[in-house]
Amino acid sequence: MDSAAINEELICAVCRDVFVEPVTLPCGHNYCNECVNQLKKSALGTTARGRSHYTCPLCLAPCETEIELKKNVVLHNIIEKICQQQLQPGANVFCSVCKGQQRAPAEKTCVSCGESYCSLHIMPHLENKFFLQHVLVSPTAETNRLCRDHGKELELYCKTDSTPLCVYCMLPSETKHLAGHDVVKLAEARHIVKEECLDKLGNIKENLSQVQGSLQKLDETASCSKDALEKQQQGYIGFLKKVKLFIDIEEKAWEKRFSVAKLQESGLIKHKAEKLEQLQTKLQEAVSAMEKALSNQDPVTLLQANEEITLDPKTAHPQLKINNELNTVVATREQSMEEPDCESSSSWFCVLGTGAFSTGLHCWEVTVRGLPSWAVGVAYRSISRDPPDSKLGSNDKAWALSYSKSRQHFCAQHNLLMYSFSVNKTPDKIGLFLDNDSGVLSFYDADLLECLYTFYCSFKAPVYPAFCPKFEKDTEFVTEAMRVRKSILF
């Protein structure tokens, strides 16, 4: 009997592996002890007259589960001796296919497959035509150092194809690496490959440096874009807040008008019809104006906030100094030379704007930071220039909001109407919102966008912006100037 047949007799019919702790059934067939235990477990559900049994996988002979099987000592010793005989130099390479605790030593190693096989599992390579071209060598674990075509140790290196070779690859019958190919020893190739790797490493580092530079530039660009977007966002938010403030002012103005109309209607029964007709006329005009304004989709045109506000030197007090751009005024101790046609006030430090407002919506801002006392508002052109009526807001031709640092309070005044109040934080910039058609004049903190006071009036003539950088005569002269500018929406 040849070795293949002997090895086949040492294989368990259940697990198809070499016997491990073999036991013998009453029928004479041998199996691994663990395989028999599995057969017993699978047969626990099968009973016959109260006695369970299982069958032999080979001859189907019944075997009682209560029988205690004996270990086949002879078969176990034979397997031990065969394994000891196979433990020779190179026998520490085991079969790659065998499973279990006792893997058989490899008899051959296939260089083409990169696997080792025992005498049983090598049979397909010896019998199957598909595997006839595979190269079989003595058992070895280092198949990567053998030539896949000849099974010999790799000793040469082809620089042309970047392929390791054995000496058989250089035979005349092997023409792949002969004509025009540069073949060197494998030891020399190590330095060549190392130099090539160093060159590639340098290129990779250079490319990596370029990529890192590009990433840094991309981060800088993203940061700049983010800052620009945040700045633009803040601009739009400020614009929307200002529009909301103007809408709130208009809403409160109309609430006041309707409230006054209701009180007048209840108090003056006799003139009810006449009053209602007048109110109806005003409401129709206001609705027409509001519908015309709402039909305009451009917020800049709606608010008319881009018109320039300039100062008229002809209306300035002799001790007021106005810059060349006509947008800044400061009170000084020295008197300026008045022009022959000067319309300036002789007592109060006031100056009017050059443009008159007779219809539409208007808004402008005045910087009052550092001024101990000031006043801003609107006035008719015919406002008195002589005391005591030349004080801004003291007559029926001007509407003004003034501030006194010494008293720490504001005062809204028109003729005999006077209202004093205080705020938590003194504004650095005062905004004015004028609705000629509705008769609304509102003062607000231009930084916090908080309404300070609103006049509800009826203008009988065009009004001019009015400015007073020194409202109280006993206050000191300061270098800070009152600056006028249009309302910035964006």
Instruction: Report whether CATH 3.30.40.10 matches the domain 3-86.
Output: yes
Residues of the chain with pLDDT > 70, as a percent, come to: 79
Contact 455, 441 (CB under 8 A): yes
The predicted pLDDT at position 380 comes to 94
- Greater pLDDT, 223 or 44: 223
- Greater pLDDT, 44 or 23: 23
**Which three-class secondary structure state does DSSP give residue 383?**
coil
The lowest-confidence range among 164-168, 206-210, 472-476 is 164-168
Instruction: At 38, list the tokens.
Output: 């599995």
Contact 467, 350 (CB under 8 A): yes
* pLDDT reading at 351 higher than 90: yes
Confidence of residue 322 (pLDDT cuts 50, 70, 90): very high
The predicted pLDDT at position 295 comes to 67
Contact 29, 5 (CB under 8 A): no
* 36-87 pLDDT, tens digit each: 888 888 877 555 444 578 888 888 888 888 888 888 888 888 887 776 665 5
* pLDDT reading at 442 higher than 80: yes
Helix (H) or strand (E) holding 433: strand 429-435
* pLDDT reading at 402 higher than 50: yes
Tell me what the pLDDT averaged over the chain comes to. 81
Selected from 2.60.120.920, 3.10.440.10, 3.30.450.30, 3.40.50.11540, the CATH number assigned to the domain covering 303-486 reads: 2.60.120.920
- Greater pLDDT, 415 or 85: 415
Q: What is the DSSP letter of 49?
A: T
* 95-115 pLDDT, tens digit each: 878 876 667 788 888 887 878
The predicted pLDDT at position 356 comes to 93
Confidence of residue 306 (pLDDT cuts 50, 70, 90): very low
Query: Residues 253-258: what's their mean pLDDT?
Result: 88
Query: Residues 449-470: what's their mean pLDDT?
Result: 93
The predicted pLDDT at position 428 comes to 95
Confidence of residue 463 (pLDDT cuts 50, 70, 90): very high
Query: Residues 323-333: what's their mean pLDDT?
Result: 93
